[in-house]
Amino acid sequence: MTPKIAVDPVLVERYIMELARFGAVGESGVKRTVYSPEWVAATDQYARWCDEGGLQVRRDAVGNVWGRLDGSAPGGSIASGSHIDTQLPGGRYDGALGALAALIAIRTLKAQFGTPKRSLEAVAFCEEEGSRFPAANYWGSRAVTGRIAADEASTLRDYDGQSMEAVMRVVGLDPACIAQAVRHDIDTFVELHVEQGPVLEHAGLPVGIVTGITGLRHYLVEVTGEANHAGACPMDLRHDPMAGAAEMISGLLSTAENMGRPAVTTIGRMQVEPNYSAIIPHKVSFTIDARHPDPECLAELYSRHEQWLRVVADRRSLQLRWTVLAEHATCACDMDTVHLLEAVAREQGTACMLMHSGAGHDSQVMAHIAKMAMIFVQSRAGRSHTPEEFTSIEHAVMGINVLAAGMYRMAYL
Amino acid sequence: MTPKIAVDPVLVERYIMELARFGAVGESGVKRTVYSPEWVAATDQYARWCDEGGLQVRRDAVGNVWGRLDGSAPGGSIASGSHIDTQLPGGRYDGALGALAALIAIRTLKAQFGTPKRSLEAVAFCEEEGSRFPAANYWGSRAVTGRIAADEASTLRDYDGQSMEAVMRVVGLDPACIAQAVRHDIDTFVELHVEQGPVLEHAGLPVGIVTGITGLRHYLVEVTGEANHAGACPMDLRHDPMAGAAEMISGLLSTAENMGRPAVTTIGRMQVEPNYSAIIPHKVSFTIDARHPDPECLAELYSRHEQWLRVVADRRSLQLRWTVLAEHATCACDMDTVHLLEAVAREQGTACMLMHSGAGHDSQVMAHIAKMAMIFVQSRAGRSHTPEEFTSIEHAVMGINVLAAGMYRMAYL
In this prediction, residue A2 has a pLDDT band, given cuts at 50, 70 and 90, of confident
Dump pLDDT digits (tens) for A228-242.
Answer: 899 999 999 999 999
When pLDDT is averaged across residues B231-242 and rounded to a whole number, the result is: 96
CB contact under 8 A, B289 and A230: yes
Q: Is A324 on the interface with B (CB under 8 A)?
A: no
Q: How many CB pairs under 8 A join A and B?
A: 216
Q: β-strand A207-213 against A352-357: which pairing, if any? A: parallel
Domains, chain A: 9-213+330-411 (3.40.630.10), 215-328 (3.30.70.360)
Q: CA of B236: which chain A residue's CA is closest? A: A257
Determine if residue A83 is labeled as part of a ligand binding site: yes
Q: What is the pLDDT of residue B1?
A: 73
Q: What is the pLDDT of residue A396?
A: 98
Q: DSSP label at B313?
A: H
Under DSSP, is residue A187 helix (H, G, I), strand (E, B) or coil? Answer: strand
CB contact at 8 A, A340 and A291: no
List strand residue ranges (DSSP E) for A60-129, in order.
65-69, 77-83, 120-125
Nearest to A292 by CA among A335, A263, A327: A263
Dump pLDDT digits (tens) for B261-300.
Answer: 999 999 999 999 999 999 999 999 999 999 999 999 999 9
Dump pLDDT digits (tens) for B365-386.
Answer: 999 999 999 999 999 999 988 9
The closest CB to that of A279, out of B236, B268, B325, belongs to: B268
Nearest to B193 by CA among B375, B381, B11: B375
Kindly tell me the sign of the dihedral angle through the C-alpha atoms of A47, A50, A56, A62. negative
ipTM for the predicted complex comes to 0.89
CB contact at 8 A, A206 and A314: no
Q: What is the pLDDT of residue A409?
A: 97
CA distance B289 to chain A (A): 6
Dump pLDDT digits (tens) for A125-155.
Answer: 999 999 999 899 999 999 999 999 999 999 9
Backbone angles phi, psi at A212, to 5 degrees: 180, 160
Q: Is B388 on the interface with A (CB under 8 A)?
A: no
Q: What is the pLDDT of residue A390?
A: 97
Q: What is the pLDDT of residue B2?
A: 84
Dump pLDDT digits (tens) for B28-84.
Answer: 999 999 999 999 999 999 999 999 999 999 999 999 999 999 999 999 999 999 999
Q: How far is CA A354 from the centre of its chain?
A: 18
CA distance B297 to chain A (A): 15
Alpha-carbon span B405 to B413, nearest angstrom: 11
Nearest to B100 by CA among B176, B161, B49: B49
The closest CB to that of A268, out of B216, B218, B281, belongs to: B281
Q: What is the pLDDT of residue A37?
A: 97
Determine if residue A385 is labeled as part of a ligand binding site: yes
CB contact at 8 A, B293 and B356: yes
| Contacts for B17-26: CB closer than 8 Å, 24+ residues apart | B17/B92, B18/B45, B19/B45, B19/B46, B19/B84, B19/B92, B19/B96, B19/B100, B20/B92, B20/B96, B23/B86, B23/B89, B25/B89, B25/B387, B26/B89, B26/B387
